C-alpha cells in the first residue's frame, strides 16, 4: 500500500473534477521546538526536517512559511501514528541520507553547513523530481509531498498564503455569468 496508490487515488479525484480537498494530515496543535512530545523523530532529525520544510516553502513578502506553520510538527505526529512501521523507518533512513550527503558534499553535518551548502544539497536532491532514482531523490519526493500537504492545510497556508475566502457566510456566490 505504497504512496503511489494513495497518490493515484488523489489524482483520480482531481481529474474527475471532484475538486478534491485533500484535507489531511495531523494537526498537532501545540508542539513547540521540542519535537519528541507525541512525535517520532529525534530532536536532531526534527531540526533537519524543520529546516528543509522552510527551504521548500519559505517565508516571503506574501506570507509566513513552513516553520511558522509548524509543518515539521505535523509531519512528525503523522509519522508517530503511522500504521506501517515502514513509513517511520523510511523517514529515518531518508533523513540519514540527507546527513550522509551533506558530509559527502560539504564535509559538515546538515545543521552545521551554510545556507549556500544546504541549498546546493536540496538542489541535488530535487534534480530528478519527475523520475526520482537515487535514495536522496526519492526522499525529496516524499518529503516535499508531506510538506506541501501540511503547509496548505495549515491556518497560515489557507488564510495567509492562499487567502482562501470561503467556509464562512457569503450571502451570495460571486461568479462571472
Q: What are phi and psi of 36, to 5 degrees?
A: -70, -20
What SS3 string covers the chain? CCHHHHHHHHHHHHHCCCCCCCCCCCCCCCCCCCCCCCCCCCHHHHHHHHHHHHHHCCCCCCCCCCCCCCHHHHHHHHHHCCCCHHHHHHHHHHHHHHHHHHHHHHCCCCCCCCHHHHHHHHHHHCCCCCCCCCHHHHHHHHHHHHHHHHHHCCHHHHHHHCCCCCCCCCCCCCCCC
In angstroms, give the least distance from the CB of 133 to another protein: 16
In angstroms, give the least distance from the CB of 33 to another protein: 19
Identify which of residues 48 and 57 has a Cβ nearer to another protein in the complex.
57
Residues in contact with another protein by the rule CB under 8 A: 1, 4-10, 12-28, 55-58, 60, 62, 65, 74, 78, 81-83, 122, 126, 129-130, 144-145, 148-149, 152-155, 158, 161-177
Identify which of residues 58 and 107 has a Cβ nearer to another protein in the complex.
58
Identify which of residues 107 and 124 has a Cβ nearer to another protein in the complex.
124
In angstroms, give the least distance from the CB of 46 to another protein: 19
In angstroms, give the least distance from the CB of 135 to another protein: 18
In angstroms, give the least distance from the CB of 151 to another protein: 8
Identify which of residues 24 and 107 has a Cβ nearer to another protein in the complex.
24
Identify which of residues 84 and 107 has a Cβ nearer to another protein in the complex.
84
Amino acid at each position: 500500500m505504497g504512496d503511489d496508490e494513495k497518490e493515484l487515488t488523489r489524482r483520480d479525484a482531481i481529474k474527475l473534477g471532484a475538486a478534491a480537498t485533500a484535507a489531511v494530515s495531523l494537526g498537532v496543535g501545540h508542539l513547540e521546538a521540542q519535537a519528541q512530545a507525541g512525535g517520532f523523530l529525534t530532536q536532531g532529525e526534527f531540526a533537519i526536517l524543520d529546516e528543509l520544510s522552510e527551504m521548500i516553502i519559505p517565508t516571503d513578502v506574501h506570507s509566513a512559511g513552513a516553520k511558522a506553520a509548524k509543518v515539521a510538527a505535523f509531519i512528525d505526529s503523522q509519522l508517530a501514528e503511522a500504521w506501517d512501521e515502514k513509513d517511520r523507518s523510511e523517514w529515518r533512513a531518508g533523513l540519514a541520507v540527507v546527513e550522509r550527503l551533506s558530509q559527502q558534499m560539504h564535509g559538515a553535518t546538515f545543521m552545521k553547513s551554510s545556507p549556500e551548502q544546504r541549498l546546493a544539497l536540496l538542489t541535488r536532491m530535487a534534480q530528478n523530481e519527475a523520475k526520482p532514482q537515487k535514495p536522496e531523490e526519492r526522499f525529496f519526493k516524499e518529503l516535499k509531498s508531506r510538506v506541501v500537504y501540511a503547509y496548505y492545510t495549515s491556518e497560515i497556508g489557507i488564510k495567509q498564503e492562499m487567502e482562501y475566502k470561503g467556509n464562512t457566510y457569503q450571502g451570495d456566490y460571486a461568479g462571472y455569468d
